[in-house]
Amino acid sequence: MKPSRKQSGVTLIELMIVVVIIGILVAVAYPSYTEHTRKTRRSEAQGNMLELASYLERYYTENSSYSGAALPFSQSPITGTASYVFTLSTTTGPPSTFTLTATPVGNQSSDGCGSMSLSHTGSRAHTGSEAGCW
């Protein structure tokens, strides 16, 4: 009689079970990841809007009006591919006012918060249906 040889390796069933488990993990993790990156981009845009508001307040201190102010940067992130684009609208008054608006573009355009705005009084608003954007 010949001695029996033990075979080692991975069967097709074992491989398919691993593939199914990985597929389930990806199905759960990917939406969570995309939502996290969307919130991160939104937070960065809000920080950039506050920076622009500080710039506009310094401009007002020097010129007694927001009229004629130009934004030092027009997108968030400041360099690279834009997730939000900033626009500025001012009134000459009296009183002189401004409203900064951040409009989502590209991959961020599906964000539930929509466009975000910040006024000279510090009031914040958004156009989307999602709560807790600011």
> For residues 87 and 105, what is the distance between their CA atoms, to the nearest angstrom?
13
Average pLDDT value over all residues in the chain? 89
Per-residue pLDDT tens digits for 59-114: 999 998 898 899 999 999 999 999 999 999 998 877 889 999 999 999 898 888 89
pLDDT value, residue 4: 67
Instruction: Label residue 23 by pLDDT band (50, 70, 90).
Output: very high
pLDDT at site 2? 66
- SS3 state of residue 7: coil
The rounded distance, in Å, linking the Cα atoms of 125 and 119 is: 9
Statement: the pTM of the whole predicted model exceeds 0.85: no
Neighbours of 80 (CB within 10 A): 8
Q: pLDDT by residue (tens digit) across 34-57?
A: 889 999 999 999 999 999 999 999
- Please give the pLDDT value at position 130: 80
The predicted pLDDT at position 1 comes to 61
